[in-house]
Amino acid sequence: MSPRADSRTGAATPAARTRDADAMAVTGFVLGLVGLLVMNVILGPTAVVLGALALRRHTTRPGRARLAIGLGLADVVLLVCLVTADGTWSWSLT
């Protein structure tokens, strides 16, 4: 049995759920930030989902989770702008 699980029910303890939610918030933030530069088609939606899950699981870092959602949405908007500007799914310097 996992050390983060309750020995009677097998469910995750509240402290473990909070740690997991905090990790989701931080991971979503980092993915959203990196997604502004590379692979925004994948990292943007992933950051939005992780940020929303972190908020739903009552993270102790709600600001970071909201930033993850905002950056993920910015990634998607940037992708739409890139696609409409030059018709491709990637950055183009020429």
Over residues 14-25, the pLDDT tens digits come to 777 788 889 999
pLDDT higher than threshold 80 for residue 2: no
29 vs 11, higher pLDDT: 29
Q: What residues pair up with 5 in beta bridges, in sequence order?
A: 12
pLDDT higher than threshold 60 for residue 93: no
Structure tokens at 11: 């469910």
E strand or H helix at 54: helix 40-56
pLDDT higher than threshold 90 for residue 63: yes
CA distance 3 to 28: 25
Cα–Cα separations (whole angstroms), residue 19 to 6, 22, 41: 15, 5, 28
Asked if 73 contacts 44 with a C-beta cutoff of 8 angstroms, the reply is yes
CB atoms within 10 A of CB 22: 17
Confidence at residue 92, expressed as pLDDT on a 0 to 100 scale: 57
Confidence at residue 12, expressed as pLDDT on a 0 to 100 scale: 66
